[in-house]
Amino acid sequence: MVAEDTVFSVLYEKFLFWGILVGILTFLWLFYAMIRYRESIVPDTSHIDHIEVGAFPVDRHNTKLEVMFYVVPTLIVVWLVVLALASNTAVWVIPDEEESFNIEVVGQQWFWEFEYKDSLTWQDDTRDSGIDVHWINETLTIRQSYGPEHAELSPPTNVTVSIDGDATTYPLDAVTNVTVIDTKFRMFLPLTVSVTDADGNELHRWGHIPINHKHSTAAGDHMVVPCDEPVVLGLFSYTSDYSELNSTYWGVQHSFWLPEWGIKEDLVPGLEGGTTMWFEADDPGTFSIRCAEYCGLDHSKMVGYVDVVSPIEKGVEFCDEDTGVTKSGGA
């Protein structure tokens, strides 16, 4: 989801359209009036008997035109108010917790911390890499299926399985293109499957993030969110000594900003429930995170990235809509 997809950008484009339209009509009338009623033209007053001070010159006005001058601007203003209120509703009506993917974002000095309130299992689009990963119960299966579109890709040679940071590398079966590894899926531990070529370049990644797992930009972690699903962020700020969440005592205000999406929200110390921000990404990829509020000496270090991925835990379709959808099994 880039900025032109967001509700704010759409609202801006609508206001810009109506602003340009009103401006064109206004200047057209202005130039017409300047030419039609210029000083060199002597008005015809032969049909006017007299002008009475304090009385409206009934015989010199155009009722329809005057009513239009009031009605048309009023309708335009009402329409713009409706557009603004509709967009405001779309932003501030937070999806239900059961219907969204929830993450707690904590602004510290000076890095971001992400605590996942829901689990997420995902992998790269198999149509791009020709590799599909299934990890069910105690069996991990890596399948390679190549077509003409994969001719220029380097052949995969190894797969690295990481369970809670403990990594083991296995060779891939180049004969059958199906590699089966006997290892147990652990839903409460972070899991990663990385398929690489002979030079160590990653060709395909599968991942599982358990409930209550934490990522930190200080460790180089990205925030990972699912595609085509509402994501609700609870935003909090720690004190300078990390002793108290959202306290006004030495609390620091941050602003969680996704510049490519055109959205941001402040992390305000002293708010017990924190602040809330939500979005629904429709484009897979990696996007920047910035802090839009000066928060101290190392404010410039408050940077990070958010990865929009395709969840597979429930066979959810991939984000790419160009060639249909692909469903893949998960744990």
Answer with the one of 159, 177, 202 that is the final residue of a domain: 202
Which residue, among 322, 321, 327, 287, has the nearest Cα to 307 in the 3D structure? 287
Same domain, residue pair 219 and 303: yes
Same domain, residue pair 105 and 175: no
Answer yes or no: is 268 within a domain.
yes
Same domain, residue pair 215 and 309: yes
Same domain, residue pair 146 and 164: yes
Same domain, residue pair 107 and 219: yes
Same domain, residue pair 314 and 253: yes
For the chain, what is the domain count? 3
Answer yes or no: is 53 within a domain.
yes
pTM of the model: 0.73
**Token duo for residue 142:** 């890596």
Domain that holds residue 317: 99-118+211-321
User: CA separation (Å) from 276 to 150, 211, 271, 273?
Assistant: 42, 19, 11, 9
Q: What is the rounded distance in angstroms from the CA atom of residue 173 to the CA atom of residue 197?
A: 13
Same domain, residue pair 113 and 237: yes
Q: What is the rounded distance in angstroms from the CA atom of residue 68 to the CA atom of residue 75?
A: 10
What CATH number has the domain bearing residue 262? 2.60.40.420
Answer yes or no: is 327 within a domain.
no
Answer yes or no: is 262 within a domain.
yes
Which residue, among 91, 98, 234, has the nearest Cα to 83 in the 3D structure? 91
Q: What is the rounded distance in angstroms from the CA atom of residue 175 to the CA atom of residue 181?
A: 16
Pick the residue with more confidence: 250 or 173? 173
pLDDT at 102: 96
Answer yes or no: is 294 within a domain.
yes
Same domain, residue pair 197 and 237: no
Answer yes or no: is 330 within a domain.
no
> Is pLDDT at 314 greater than 50 in this prediction?
no
Residues 81-98: what's their mean pLDDT?
80
> Is pLDDT at 306 greater than 90 in this prediction?
yes
Same domain, residue pair 109 and 139: no
User: CA separation (Å) from 262 to 190, 265, 279?
Assistant: 31, 11, 11
User: Considering the chain, what is the average pLDDT of its residues?
Assistant: 82
Answer yes or no: is 123 within a domain.
no
**Highest mean pLDDT of the ranges 24-38, 83-97, 149-163, 177-191:** 177-191
Answer yes or no: is 250 within a domain.
yes
Same domain, residue pair 220 and 136: no
